[in-house]
Structure 1
Amino acid sequence: MSEVLISTDKLTKHYRLGASFFGSNDKVIRAVDDVSFEINERETFALVGESGCGKTTLGRAMLRLVERTSGSINYRGQDLHSLNEGSMRALRKKLQIVFQDPFASLNPRMRVKDILAEPLRAHSYGTEAEIEERCRELLEVVGLRPHLMRHYPHQFSGGQRQRIGIARALANNPEFVVCDEAVSALDVSIQAQVLNLLRDLQEQLKLTYLFITHDLSVVRQFADRIGVMFLGRLVEVGTTEEIFSNPRHPYTMFLISAVPRADPHQRNRERPVLVGDIPSPVNLPSGCRFHTRCPYARDICRVQDTALVAANGRGVACHFPLGD
């Protein structure tokens, strides 16, 4: 049984709207609201949901790239918010991120060697000769030739840039990597190459991934477990097979039904379609946040919210789960 590497307990991140021309504003955006879950060692945990549901904010909060409003993050049983600045800086070698846009995440004025050397120098890796040798190793690990470290980012394709971003994340031998929409900006054929690279690296380096995406077709082939988010809350958690074969939350069922199918015999079959607009994260509806779009909602759903209740790794936040 794998040990838990990192977990959150009622993690919350709210953004307060600032004052405007018309006066003060005391409203808040509930980007992440009371989220609790665990990721095991060497596991790929996928976080899926519509744009704006809080996936990226949750991932960054887990790395303390944005500070939480409340709740806790535990890495190997240690509360990250109990660490002082020096201790957190030392631990950052083990907690890394691959950003979504390979065109924006690399400094266009820096050569690849300097991009890869920057985190090494920040953590006092060694001499300049040792740093240069490490940069060569990193490029080889991600399938690029070492002589390319003399080039600038604009001289590479999108897939090559993302490989450089992955190499930078691996520079200090991390254990936990947040992949924030790491393949969404790439062509489909390049997506497959980068996903295969990530899988190979996970085996070689014993990595643990939080894989943030909105593409469920990618998730099915890549993830061990899935967490489904809606308006800042986790609404369902389970293994990839459980989620796809037996979705229990209506929102999960609608997400899966929206995945394009290559089988021409299934193309014309009727599929449930989610209607209505996503409620505003500033003015959330009472009760269950999904009830305004849920065809199965009842009176209790409109007045009483639900919490994710997990047992043996399987959980759903719904008064009337599908299949009951």
Structure 2
Amino acid sequence: MIIESLVTHIVAYFYFMRYPTKLNQSETEKNQTPYTWGIFFSSLIVFGLTDSANYLSWLTISIGLVSGQAVFIKYIQPTLQLYLDSTIKQNETHVLQTFYHKNEDIIAFTLQQTLIFIWIIMLNQLFFYLAHPLTKLFFIIISIGYLSLSNRDSIIWGEVDKRRIFQTLTSYILLSALVLFVSQLLIQLIDSVSNSALQVFPFQNAQASYGLFIRAVLVFLILMRPANLLIRSLSVQYDPKKSLKVEDDAEDDLTEQPSQIQPASREIPVIPNESGFKGAGAMIGNLERILIFLSFLSGSLLSVVAILSIKAFARYKLIADDPYFSEYFVIGTMLSVLITFISYILLVFLLTI
């Protein structure tokens, strides 16, 4: 159930939390609630798709993900941040100090996700070897007890909170039911296509419909918001806008335009900042990666050229007038293609195991 665990973590961490790449969060931003709701929402869908014999195992892994995130926020993250600050950030003689200053959030975020990935593997391996139901129930009771004690100060049992919790719970149950229904239709579609004479998928090895579906979901989830956040974090130092609040537009793709305030040394025309809808850059980036990924699947590399040409044509005037933006645009586009290609390799690898 490693694939299901990764899908659940990605949905909860990247799609339910507002600033997932901002590691130096304030106390109000360290709230466990969004991540917990994300695990709950995803777990309901997996419960509907998985075999009934795995219900207890999946319940154990779901609670283990929530408790692991809580332990990381409360104990591991402050210790990790203190270690990095004391050994690298505040040590002027350290060879990696300059690199760490420029990429502090990326380094800490990478370490965080690596630890969570290790925790996911440990959970799956632990309950693979310890398959006795009483062992899983014992772990569930201990984890729920820890979560209740660690969050006792933030729980206010007022009438307003009860109503809000009930409304949120109902909305997520209904939404998960809708997603579950669509997922089951897609699995049936994959099954019918794989059994027909027309083979759409370019993979010769036999895969169950559910196995192909859950692996494809994992890759497509990575291609959207996580990819946007990663590209933005890696290329922010080349952003012509020089925005001080990176987290406010962390989801924007690299097609955003520079601001009206330009450095005095740049003798180029001032270009208006508002040139499109808010969030359009992120949507363009998502569509770009998904279409390129589908082109890889179909083996049509000429389609990749057409997709990138459309994107470049939309920003032609900026690319021609502003050399800073053109470099920024190329960096973002190359990162986007690279992430898409790595995601394609990841899917091919997952289909072989």
Shared fold (TM-score, shorter chain, > 0.5): no
Which structure: larger Rg?
2
Normalised-by-shorter TM-score class = under 0.3
TM normalised by structure 2 equals 0.25
Please identify which structure carries the higher helix content.
2
**When the two structures are superposed, what TM-score results if normalisation uses the length of structure 1?**
0.26
